[in-house]
Amino acid sequence: MLLSELEERMTTADYMLYVAAEALNPRGEQRDDLRMGILAAAVSNPYRGKNSRPFKPADFIPKFGARRQDPRRLKAEFKAYTLALGGTVTEARHVN
């Protein structure tokens, strides 16, 4: 199925359920990275230094997109996504 077809058929609620399910039980590349991280930690720990901490699977998993993001850029991206999906954006009023 093409992404454009999926966008036409999938509701926002269905998409949010999919995102939540994927976060709880990742599949594909994320799951593969976790498996390899577990294996790498298990193989590496017997060879670590006597006074060094044990390796964790996360030590061997790539961290894509882990950089700090500019809040203004994130706000602009979320605004663009909301508008692209037919939503409306209202600016929050700050109360002092």
4-49 pLDDT, tens per residue? 888 888 888 888 888 888 888 878 888 899 999 999 999 999 998 8
* Side-chain half-sphere exposure of 21, counting CA atoms within 13 A: 7
User: Is pTM beyond 0.75 here?
Assistant: no
Q: How confident is the model at residue 57 (pLDDT cuts 50, 70, 90)?
A: very high
**Which two tokens mark 53?**
């901490």
